Amino acid sequence: MIEVRDLHKAFGDVRAVNGVSFTARDGEITGLLGPNGAGKTTTLRMLYTLMKPDAGQVLVDGVDAYTDALAVRRRLGVLPDARGLYKRLTAAENIDYFGKLHGMEPALLAQRREALIDGLDMRDIATRRTEGFSQGQRVKTAIARALVHDPRNVLLDEPTNGLDVMATRAMRRFMRQLKDEGRCVLFSSHIMQEVAALCDRIVVIAHGRVVADETPAALLAQTGESSLEDAFVKIIGTDEGLAA
Partner 1 sequence: MSAFTAVYWKEVRENLRDRRTLINALVTGPLLGPVMFIMLMNVTINREIAKADRPIAVPVIGAELAPNLVAALKSAGIDAQPALADPENAVREQRTDIVVRISPDYAKAWNKGQTVQVELIYDSSRRDASTPVMRVRSVVESYGRREGAMRLIARGLSPSTAWPVQVADRDQATSQSRSGLMFSFLPYFFVLTVFLGGMYLAIDLTAGERERQSLEPLFVNPVARWKILAGKLAAICTFSLVSLLLTVGAFMTAPWFIPTEKLGIALDLGWRFSGQVIVLMLPLILLLAALQSLVSAFAKSYREAQTYLSILMIIPILPSVLLSVIPVRAEPWMYTVPLLAQNLGIVQLLRGDGVPGWQLGLCLAGGFVAAVLAVWGAAMLYRSERLAISG
Binding stretches for partner 1 (CB under 8 A):
45, 48-52, 70-71, 73-74, 76, 78, 80-89, 93, 97-98, 100-103, 106, 142, 145-146
DSSP string over the chain: -EEEEEEEEEETTEEEEEEEEEEE-TT-EEEEE--TTSSHHHHHHHHTTSS--SEEEEEETTEETTT-HHHHHHHEEEE-S-----TTSBHHHHHHHHHHHTT--HHHHHHHHHHHHHHTT-GGGTTSBSTT--HHHHHHHHHHHHHTT--SEEEEESTTTT--HHHHHHHHHHHHHHHHTT-EEEEEESBHHHHHHH-SEEEEEETTEEEEEE-HHHHHHHHT-SSHHHHHHHHHS--TT-B-
CB of 70 or CB of 166, closer to partner 1: 70
CB of 155 or CB of 233, closer to partner 1: 155
CB of 44 or CB of 195, closer to partner 1: 44
Q: How far is the CB of 76 from partner 1 (least distance, A)?
A: 7
Q: How far is the CB of 184 from partner 1 (least distance, A)?
A: 16
Q: How far is the CB of 244 from partner 1 (least distance, A)?
A: 25
Q: How far is the CB of 210 from partner 1 (least distance, A)?
A: 23
Angle between helices 135-147 and 106-119 (to 10 degrees): 140
CB of 65 or CB of 199, closer to partner 1: 65
Q: How far is the CB of 101 from partner 1 (least distance, A)?
A: 4
Q: How far is the CB of 36 from partner 1 (least distance, A)?
A: 12
CB of 95 or CB of 163, closer to partner 1: 95
CB of 82 or CB of 166, closer to partner 1: 82
Cα distances from 144 to residues 95, 129, 233, in angstroms, run 6, 15, 34
d(CA 134, CA 199): 27
